Amino acid sequence: MGRPDAATIARTAASLWGTHGVHLAGPADAVDGRSPLVVLEPEDAGTAARMLRWADTEGLTVVPRGAGTKQVWGSASTGADLVLSTGRLSAAIDHCAGDLTATLPAGASLAQVNDALGRQRQWLPLDPAFADRATIGGIVATNDSGPRRQKYGTARDLIIGIEMALVDGRTAKAGGRVVKNVAGYDLSRLLCGSFGTLALITSATFKLAPLPAASRTVVATVGSARRLGELALALVAAPLTPAAVEVDSPPTRLLIRFETTPAAADQQAAAACEACERHQAPTRVLQGDTEADTWRSYEAQLWHTEGTLLKLAVLPSDVGDLVDLVERATASRAIDYRLGGRAALGVLFLKLRGNVERHMEIAADLRRAAAARGGSAVIVSTPVSGAQRIDTWGHIGDGLPLMRAVKARFDPHGTLNPGRGPGGL
Amino acid sequence: MDARFLAELARLVGDDALLRDPADLLTYESDALVHLRATPGAVVLPSTAAEVQAVVRLCHRDGVPFVARGHGTGLSGGALPAPDGVLIGLSRLNRILDIDIPNLRVTVEPGVTNLEITRRVSPAGCYYAPDPSSQIVCSIGGNIAENSGGAHCLKYGFTVHHVLGVEAVLPDGELVHLGGAVLDAPGLDLLGVLVGSEGTLAVVTKATLRLLRRPERVLTLLAGFNSVDEAGEAVSAIIGCGIVPAAVEMMDRLTIEAAEASVHPGFPPANAVLIVELDGPQVEVDELFAVVEAACRRAGATTVEVARDQAARERIWKGRKAAFAAMGRVSPNYYVQDGVVPRTKLPEVLRRIRALEQRSGLRIGNVFHAGDGNLHPLICYDESIPGQAEHAERVASEILTYCIEAGGAITGEHGVGADKKAYMPQMFTASDLDAMQLVRCAFDPTGICNPGKVFPTPRLCGEVPGPYRQHPLERAGLIERF
């Protein structure tokens, strides 16, 4: 059956929902080289659900989209007839400061949200990639987080309620607006990291944190990969509560951040410096603009560069080994790279640059090495396509049939973001 | 229960692990919610995951419902047996399999008790954070089923934040591994939905949990107030100062008196006491604790006692954790309710409870996690007075309505189980419940895993995909298709 033409689809969609939220897709809407026909922009969850049901009935595949910063994360799309944008799902931010919670529309950007919450000295303590533009819906769908995961966790740890639009044309919610709640299944967490393959997230409720009064960052230059692994473990074994312990390489260093009261931040930074020096790692302590600049450039080198992005996960005690393996796997192939990530949690991000032909070899090497240690290596995004690209997710394990069963229940016709999700759901 | 089926069960787990004698079955008729009882067809006590798997497979083959049970401390009838079904008691799966201090991980079987983990890792300066009041006896398997919290979940989260991976037997007998010791295993987060599913999706046979390092400093304060409202103002002031305590607990006069009569924690004679605990690095805790103390005094605290050592702290917590059981000292019977309201709605809801107390003629004690709005009203009654137990139940039910109207939840930690399933439609629409059923049907399409819990109405799972066929029960109008 041939694909219906864009104009016909746009006309039908406009007759159903008006012209305001329907427009023809352009080159900027392309996903993995696929050109969607039409972009739909519902202004509420109910409309989003009706649009989904219509697409499902018409046999049109749907790619959900927030700001599009992580549109290509995950495995390659196998269908992108329509883009369902959360751009107009931007109802007011409902901040209950006294309860330390907020209900946020999927289309709001994290930056917007934190501006608003900051007026009452609170925030949603997430710092994912592209934090300036990333939307709430996209952050939940990718369960992306950043350096502060060390202290605050991921979206999955902070979410307390969700509302979604389903392909059967209905909206549904789970959880609620209270921090403590065990009524019903926790669909909020199920949707974290589901890559838009189960439902369109239309809003989410989170527990918040007070804005820290002070921040200090210790920058420690570490001589070797192994020493880095040991040092990261030593830092979290000490009576310290760092907000972030990031590896940044090359040259190999640790960025250790403390966010607390001014006196405690100074004391903890000093204690961290002592620990670093015991591991022969020279340090300096940053605060204010230099601190902010250091973090900005650290993130820019990972996110605002071309290349293949890998997410590597191992036990914290294997981080030293893994960093060492990265150095060797890239050096032997003369590939330039940038390595960052959560040194004390064992979740690293590797950006491979240069000759893309070698990227998949390195990815395969690191995947074997991570798997041998009970971990994983996921290809988050890559310019490599087609047959040259190795499987995005690697071994998912014996839970995969169950994941497929869940997908089949939520989206029996494979309408939502087909191919994109874990295991190619 | 079919003799052939029983013989097969005995073959799978051994005669000593199959209970059929009515006297033996009695223990398993209920969990800690004792007014809901049912007799299981048989109880099996497997010793290995393979035995659990074999039992579940057999149940699946013959369409026999089964219910997993930890140590039976649940308060919502979540482990209420299916009549004529198999009850799988997991108490013999009680080994700690691996302790990995550098990575702060521990791997345990489901029958290990919550506190046992902390006991074992304590010499290394570590602990397992979720601390439900029943932690001395409750099992990790049960904690996972209920997503248990505890007094310290305000800062440290619930069980779901501390379970990294599980091995579980699905209702068709397949063994799956979800999550793992390494973070971010690729795949849908089925672990996130399995935790808190009240034993309706799978039977967990092994779990890898996250440990925490003991904080450098812990300071606990006990403040007395003339009114619950004043104590509530102190909590608001503390949160308003940007402080997230490790715990904030409140008790009212009746529960203070009960605790005093029972375990003598030395609580002040006040209309409300507040327990506030801060933990973390010494400099931070000392600095913030001064703010907390000042906030309590400003809000009108009549007494402020600071526990500076472990013994003093334990005494205070003993008073708090004994509160439920202590009600037995002041009332022949009591009904424990579990509801949640947004923290800022606490004063309003407590006023409604106070009015209800006067109207109903039943005394109501209040002990609650004030930091997160989780209320535990204790409704006192005397079952020897005809009709009073039912009256207490109605009063408890009305309090839940207040919670829902305040934008809260019908349960914060005890679970829905068999007890509160009828309230689910007050909190969730049919469409919300149907979305949850999608998960249920993916895990347990034949509905044999802890049936009759959580959801208000039993449902059949349609085949996906495939042509529609009417189920005999559907034809008879006894069940609705989902």
User: How would you list the strands of the sheet with A22-24, edge to edge?
Assistant: A22-24, A38-40, A82-85, A62-65
What sign results for the dihedral spanned by CA atoms A147, A148, A152, A158? negative
Spatial separation of the C-alpha atoms in residues B76 and B257, rounded to whole Å: 26
pLDDT of residue B151: 87
A192, A119, A128, A123: which is closest to A156 by C-alpha? Answer: A192
Q: Which two tokens stand for residue B307?
A: 């526990």
Mean pLDDT of B467-475: 47
Nearest CA distance, B147 vs chain A (angstrom) = 7
In angstroms, the CA B93 to CA B91 distance is: 5
Q: Which residues contact B243 (CB under 8 A, 6 or more apart)?
A: A210, B278, B288, B291, B292
Instruction: Measure the CA–CA gap between B432 and A187, rounded to whole angstroms.
Output: 10
CA A7 to chain B, closest CA, distance in angstroms equals: 32
3-state secondary structure of A28: helix
pLDDT tens digit sequence for B148-197: 998 899 999 999 999 999 999 999 999 999 999 999 999 999 999 999 99
Q: Give the pLDDT score at A243.
A: 98
**Closest to B190 in 3D by CA, of A40, A332, A423:** A423
A182/B180 CB distance under 8 A: no
At B478, which amino acid appears? L
Tell me the backbone φ, ψ of residue A230, rounded to 5 degrees: -65, -40
Distance from CA of B480 to the nearest CA of A (A): 17
The predicted pLDDT at position B477 comes to 53
Rounded to whole angstroms, how far apart are CA atoms A61 and A80?
A: 5
A92 has a pLDDT exceeding 70 = yes
Closest residue in B to A99 (Cα–Cα): B343
User: What is the pLDDT confidence band of residue B482, given thresholds at 50, 70 and 90?
Assistant: very low
Residues 6+ apart with CB under 8 A from B60: B171, B172, B173, B446, B448
What are the counts of helices (DSSP H) followed by strands (DSSP E) for chain B? 17, 21
Q: Could you tell me which chain B residue has the CA closest to the CA of A378?
A: B186
Q: What is the pTM of this model?
A: 0.96
pLDDT reading at A411 higher than 70: yes
Q: Please state, in angstroms and as integers, the Cα–Cα distance from residue B151 to each residue in A57, B130, B320, B368, B376, following that order.
A: 49, 8, 9, 9, 12
Residue A321 CB burial class (10 angstroms; 0-12, 13-18, ≥19): middle
A155: helix, coil or strand?
Answer: helix
Sign of the C-alpha dihedral computed for residues B298, B303, B306 and B310 taken in this order: negative
Q: Picking from A90-104, A167-181, A236-250, B460-474, which range would have the lowest pLDDT averaged per residue? A: B460-474
> What is the rounded distance in angstroms from the CA atom of residue B130 to the CA atom of residue B413?
11
Nearby residues of A394 by Cβ (< 8 Å), 6 or more positions away: A367, A371, A376, A377, A378, B186
User: For B186, which of A198, A376, A412 is closest by C-beta distance?
Assistant: A376
Q: Give per-residue pLDDT as tens, A20-31.
A: 999 999 999 999
Segment A337-352, tens digit of pLDDT: 999 999 999 999 999 9
State the average pLDDT over residues B289-315: 95
Confidence of residue B459 (pLDDT cuts 50, 70, 90): confident
Per-residue pLDDT band for B464 (boundaries 50, 70, 90) equals low
Q: Which of B129, B183, B40, B381 is nearest to A346 (CA)?
A: B183
B-chain residues near A264 (CB < 8 A): 281, 283-284, 287
DSSP B255: H
Using the structure block, give the residue that is written with the tokens 């694909």.
Answer: A3
State how far residue B442 is from chain A, nearest Cα, in angstroms.
Answer: 5
Separation CA B171–CA B148 (nearest Å): 23
Percent of chain B residues topping a pLDDT of 70: 96
Backbone dihedral region for residue A405 (phi beyond 0: left; psi -120 to 50: alpha; all else: beta):
alpha
Token pair listed for A223? 């001589």
Tokens of B269: 């004679």
Rounded mean pLDDT of B274-278?
A: 97
Nearest chain B residue to A406 by CA distance is B442
User: Using CA atoms, how far apart are residues A183 and B196, in angstroms rounded to an integer?
Assistant: 9
Q: Looking up tokens 């007839």, which residue turns up?
A: A81
Closest partner CB to B147 (pick from A99, A182, A240) = A182
Write the pLDDT tens digit of every residue in B232-275: 999 999 998 999 999 999 999 999 999 999 999 999 999 999 99
- Which residue, among A180, A195, A314, A390, would best test binding to B if mutated, counting the most B CBs under 10 Å from its CB? A180
- List the structure tokens of A18: 């008006």
Across the A/B interface, how many CB contacts are shorter than 8 Å? 270
Of the pLDDT bands very low, low, confident and very high (cuts 50, 70, 90), residue B104 is: very high
- CA distances for B458 relative to B69, B453, B474, B481, angstroms: 21, 9, 11, 9
* Average pLDDT of chain A to the nearest whole number: 96
Kindly state the DSSP code that residue A135 receives in the 8-state scheme. B
Per-residue pLDDT of B3-32, as tens digits, reads 999 999 999 999 999 999 999 999 999 999
How confident is residue B476, by pLDDT bands cut at 50, 70 and 90? low
**pLDDT value, residue B479:** 53
At residue B466, the pLDDT reads 42
Is residue B392 within 8 Å of residue B335, measured between CB atoms? yes
Convert the pLDDT of each residue in A288-297 to its tens digit.
Answer: 999 999 999 9
pLDDT band at B329 (very low <50, low <70, confident <90, very high): confident
Q: Tell me the helices (H) and strands (E) count for chain A, helix number first.
A: 13, 19
Q: pLDDT of A172-224, one tens digit each?
A: 999 999 999 999 999 999 999 999 999 999 999 999 999 999 999 999 999 89
pLDDT digits (tens, 9 = 90+) for B405-450: 999 999 999 999 999 999 999 999 999 999 999 999 999 999 999 9
Residue B469's pLDDT is what? 44
Asked if the Cβ–Cβ distance from A182 to B146 is below 8 Å, we say: yes
